[in-house]
Amino acid sequence: MFDWTLYLYGLAVTAALVMATWVVSTVKRDVSIVDSTWSLMFLAMAFTYTSPVWLNGELSARTVLLLLLVSAWALRLSIYISWRNWGEDEDRRYQAMRRKHEPGFSLKSLYLVFGLQGLLAWFISLPLLAAATGAAQPGLLDAIAVLVWLTGFGFETVADAQLAAFRARPQNRDRVMDSGLWRYSRHPNYFGECAIWWGFYLLAVAAGGWWSFPAPLLMTLLLLRVSGVTLLERDISERRPAYREYVQHTNAFIPGPRKTAPATGESGFGA
C-alpha cells in the first residue's frame, strides 16, 4: 500500500535539505554544492521512510539492507564529489546557467537548480519508499537486487577512482581516457549509477512495490538524455578533438568490446 504520509514527510525532509544547501550556495556563490548533496537527499528520505520501523526497534532484514545500501552509495558519492570539487571554481554547467539568468541568479537558483533537483530526488525515491514499507518476506529477488546493486556500485566506484587517478597526472591534461573501465564504456560511472537504481527497484519489487518503476526509468532517462551522457558530450569533441576518435571505438553507456583497434597513443576521458 502506498504510504502518502511517509512520502510527504520525505518531501519535507528534502525541502529542508534543499533550503539549507541553497543558503550555503548563496554565501559561497557556487551552486556546485548541490551535486554533493544530491545523494544525501536520498539518504535522508531512506531514513524517513524507515522511521516507523527503526523508531520502534522493529528493524527487518530488508530495512537493514536498504539502509546499508543507500548509506554506502550516498556517502561514497557525496564524499567523492566534494573531494573532487574542493578548491575548484563553480562547475562550468552552472557558470553557463549563471550567465544566462543574471541578474538575480542566486535567488533564481533556488527553483532552477535546488528546487528542481529536490523534486526529482523525491520522485526517484519511490523504490526506497516501496522497499521500506512493503510487507513481503525477503527472498531470491532480494538477493538478485543486491547483486545488481553491487555490480553498479563496483562500476561507479572503480570508474571514479580510475578517472581521478588519470586526472591527477599533469601529462593527461588534454588527453582522453580509454583505459580501465573507460576502455569499454565512455561513461562507466553513469552505467554503474543506472544499475544501482535498478537494484533499488528490484528490492522494491521484492517488497511488493512493482509500481515504483517510473523512478528507475526516469533516472535512466536523466543519465542518458538529460544531465548525463548527452549534456557531457555536447561540446567535449570541440574541447578535446581526440574524443571524436574515442566515440568511434567505444560504447557510450553499456560496457562492451572495442568496436575497432584503438589509435596509437594513450587517450582518456577527463571532461
Nearest-angstrom CA–CA distance, 21 and 15: 10
Over residues 190-234, the pLDDT tens digits come to 999 999 999 999 999 999 999 999 999 999 999 998 887 877 777
| pLDDT one-digit tens code per residue, 81-103 | 999 999 888 988 899 899 999 99
Phi, psi dihedral angles at 117 (to 5 degrees): -65, -35
Predicted pLDDT at 264: 39
Amino acid (one-letter) located at 257 = P
Average pLDDT over residues 99-126: 95
Provide DSSP, 72-118.
HHHHHHHHHHHHHHTTPPPPHHHHHHHHHH-SSHHHHHIIIIIIHHH
What is the distance between the alpha carbons of residues 204 and 213, in angstroms, rounded to a whole number? 9
pTM of the complete model? 0.91
Euclidean distance between the first and the last CA atom of the chain, given in angstroms as a whole number: 44
State the DSSP H helix or E strand holding residue 252, giving kind and residue range, or none if neither.
none
**Taking the alpha carbons of 196, 199, 205, 211 in that order, is the dihedral positive or negative?**
positive
Distance of CA 187 to the CA centre of its chain: 12
Q: Indicate whether 62 pLDDT > 90.
A: yes
Q: What is the number of residues in the chain?
A: 271
Q: Is the dihedral of CA 195, 196, 199, 204 positive or negative?
A: negative
209 close to 129: Cβ distance less than 8 angstroms: yes
